[in-house]
């Protein structure tokens, strides 16, 4: 795929009230059949936050809100198709049922997610998400 600039994507790391992690199984290459976070490419005219929540809804049927920035991932080799910059967000949901849609072969809340080998650089994003979640919890406890 020829291009003259990086593509911009958004990913969501979602935990529910039971500490389960929302994952999709990729329907297409690259990483077909592997677990990944819901996410995808931005559309012209939307913010990265809007893209993240749209992709979450399209791939899992879950309405997210109040996305919290985890980080920006820009390694040119993170996506074998082309140079992709991803902005990752942490989203919390209390109770939700995941229903696969768009380019997800399946979508589910996974209980035993520690040690899974995720697609792309999503294991790195997960570690950063756990750090972000811990920071947010400390901030919430100290600031009411």
Helix (H) or strand (E) holding 41: strand 39-41
DSSP code for 109? E
Name all domains of the chain by residue range, CATH numbers in brackets. 7-143 (3.90.79.10)
pTM of the predicted structure, to 2 decimals: 0.92
Contact 64, 14 (CB under 8 A): yes
Stretch 61-80: mean pLDDT: 96
- Identify which has the larger pLDDT, 78 or 1: 78
pLDDT at 143 over 70: no
Radius of gyration, alpha carbons of the chain: 15
Give 87-108 pLDDT, tens digit per residue: 999 999 988 999 998 789 999 9
């Amino acid at each position: 795929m020829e291009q003259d600039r990086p593509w911009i994507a958004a990913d969501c790391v979602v935990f529910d009230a039971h500490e389960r992690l929302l994952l999709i199984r990729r329907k297409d290459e690259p990483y077909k059949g592997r677990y990944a976070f819901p996410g995808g490419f931005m559309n012209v005219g939307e913010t990265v936050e809007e893209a993240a929540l749209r992709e979450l809804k399209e791939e899992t049927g879950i309405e997210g809100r109040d996305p919290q920035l985890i980080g920006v991932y820009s390694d040119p080799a993170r996506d074998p198709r082309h140079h992709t910059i991803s902005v990752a967000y942490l989203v919390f949901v209390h109770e939700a049922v995941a229903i696969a849609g768009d380019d997800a072969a399946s979508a589910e809340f996974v209980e035993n997610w520690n040690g899974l080998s995720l697609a792309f650089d999503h294991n790195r994003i997960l570690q950063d998400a756990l750090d972000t979640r811990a920071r947010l919890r400390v901030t919430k406890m100290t600031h009411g």
